[in-house]
Amino acid sequence: MITSAGTNGEVWKSDGNGAGVWGADNNTQLSESEVEGYIKNGDLTFDDTVKIGIDEIRARDGAGLKLNDDGGNGIFIKDGGNVGIGIANPTSLLQVNGSVSATS
């Protein structure tokens, strides 16, 4: 049972031993209201000058992860790790649709 009020920005959370305590919100997820101005037509959209600094991006489900340019071309990471460049359903570790160039 909560018996005291937290201060602005604090959340009620577990102390790790089963007791509740007020403390800083270390959750880095943003609420919809915090990004509301960036949501356009159901997509989260930022201007070219906005940078996103992040260490990890994860697919939200088993459908894989896509990184596309504005023409729909891109990289697809299939659930399980196969990577497709220009192909949406890679059947090997790396599958490329088109020419490949490499230098040593």
Q: Higher model confidence: residue 16 or residue 91?
A: 91
Look at residue 94 and tell me whether its pLDDT is greater than 90: yes
| pTM of the model as a whole | 0.53
Total domains in the chain come to 1
| Cα distance between residue 83 and residue 18, in whole Å | 43
- The answer to whether residue 101 sits within a structural domain is no
- The answer to whether residue 103 sits within a structural domain is no
78: domain range?
Answer: 10-96
- The answer to whether residue 89 sits within a structural domain is yes
3-state SS, residue 39: strand
| Cα distance between residue 7 and residue 10, in whole Å | 6
Q: State pLDDT tens for residues 13-41.
A: 777 777 777 777 665 566 667 677 667 77
H-helix or E-strand spanning residue 45: none
